[in-house]
Amino acid sequence: MRLGVLDVGSNTVHLLVVDAHPGARPLPAHSHKVELRLAQLLDDSGAIGDEGIDKLIAVVRDALQAAEDKGVEDLLPFATSAVREATNADEVLARVADETGVRLQVLTGAEEARLTFLAVRRWFGWSAGKLLVLDIGGGSLEIAFGIDEEPDAAVSLPLGAGRLTAGWLPGDPPAPEDVRALRRHVRTEIARTVGEFSRFGSPDHVVATSKTFKQLARIAGAARIAGAARSAEGLYVQRELKRESLEAWVPRLAGMTIDQRAELPGVSDGRAGQLLAGALVAEGAMDLFAVESLEICPWALREGVILRRLDHMGSD
């Protein structure tokens, strides 16, 4: 059957269409993505204003049309931190439902972490042993650890690249004191969670998902012959990020303007402004969890939602 997952995230609204059935690997058939940046449309009270809701409704309608055009039989719509944390979330959800017919399921941060972990476990399999999974989104950082398909520990922290950029890095390039303040904040927040994970022992394999980690792996490896491959080279090419390379890049990113970052390999114009904040989160997480190198997984939250749906279909 043809499934569609509609992901209303802090940065983008992304429709992923796959051909899938229980027991088989979902095969991507179509991708429809719009950079809406909901996290940046919040007003001073933390609400998504009428203009932002109108834009969201328009984007959801377009995604619905794309899903219909591609023959989607079952649509799985969900929203993450931008909607979840908006002070008028109920109003946003009600208007979207009334005007599009789409009832967005709002995932908790822990659910995001668990579903992403499920996708990573299925991608790497049981031979990967104990997994530590890191995911940097626009609004939050998810961390999960475990040996099964359900993690032993999973947390979500308000350390998304878009959120931190808007709240901590106003300059272009940002002032050094702002970068230092954000670095302290990021590491303090992550350090509070390390003990919750360390009691389970060391991971056998450390994995990262999300566009931020993919871009960091690409630029940190650009100067090396064995650097992270471009997306066009396919899902099955191994991509890794070494902490040593990332640490060398963070001060360089801090000194760049947004336009200069956008010229780096694999960095889009829309993501360039958030790249420094994302790098500070990635560096802090790798340092505090004593990770020297991690592997990039092409599957993440959207695939986790699809896999969970397929599991439920198989048990019906």
Give me the DSSP letters along the chain.
-EEEEEEE-SSEEEEEEEE--TTS--EEEEEEEEE--GGGSB-TTSPBPHHHHHHHHHHHHHHHHHHHHTT-SEEEEEE-HHHHT-TTHHHHHHHHHHHH----EE--HHHHHHHHHHHHHHHH-GGG-SEEEEEE-SS-EEEEEESSSS-SEEEEES--HHHHHHHH--SSSPPHHHHHHHHHHHHHHHHHHHHHHHTT---SEEEEESHHHHHHHHHHTTTSTTPPPPGGG-TTS--EEEHHHHHHHHHHHHTS-HHHHHTSTT--HHHHTTHHHHHHHHHHHHHHTT-SEEEE-S--HHHHHHHHHHHHHHH-
What pTM value is reported for the model? 0.93
Q: Where in the chain is the domain with CATH 3.30.420.150?
A: 109-301
pLDDT at residue 225 in the model:
35
pLDDT at residue 226 in the model:
38
Top-level class of domain 109-301? alpha beta
CA-to-CA separations, 46 to 38, 141, 185, 277, in angstroms, rounded: 11, 19, 20, 21
> Rounded CA gap, 13 and 7, in Å?
6
Beta bridge partners of 254: none
> Torsion angle of alpha carbons 24, 77, 106, 271, nearest 10°?
90
> Rounded CA gap, 73 and 309, in Å?
13
Q: What are the structure tokens assigned to 289, written together?
A: 């969890």
CATH topology of domain 2-106: Nucleotidyltransferase; domain 5 (3.30.420)
Of 56, 48, 61, the residue nearest 90 (C-alpha): 48
Q: Where in the chain is the domain with CATH 3.30.420.40?
A: 2-106
What whole-number percentage of the chain has pLDDT above 70? 94
pLDDT at residue 135 in the model:
98
> Rounded CA gap, 92 and 52, in Å?
9
> Rounded CA gap, 73 and 53, in Å?
26
Backbone angles phi, psi at 197, to 5 degrees: -95, -35
Beta bridge partners of 19: 2, 27
pLDDT at residue 224 in the model:
44
For each of the chain's 316 residues, which pLDDT tens digit applies?
Answer: 999 999 999 999 999 999 998 888 999 999 999 999 888 788 889 999 999 999 999 999 999 999 999 999 999 999 999 999 999 999 999 999 999 999 999 999 999 999 999 999 999 999 999 999 999 999 999 999 999 999 999 999 999 999 999 999 999 999 999 999 999 999 999 999 999 999 999 999 999 999 999 999 999 986 443 345 455 555 557 789 999 999 999 999 999 999 999 999 999 898 999 999 999 999 999 999 999 999 999 999 999 999 999 998 866 5
**Residue 236 buriedness (CB in 10 A; 0-12 / 13-18 / 19+):** exposed
Q: Residue 15 region, left (φ>0) first, then alpha (ψ -120 to 50), else beta?
A: beta
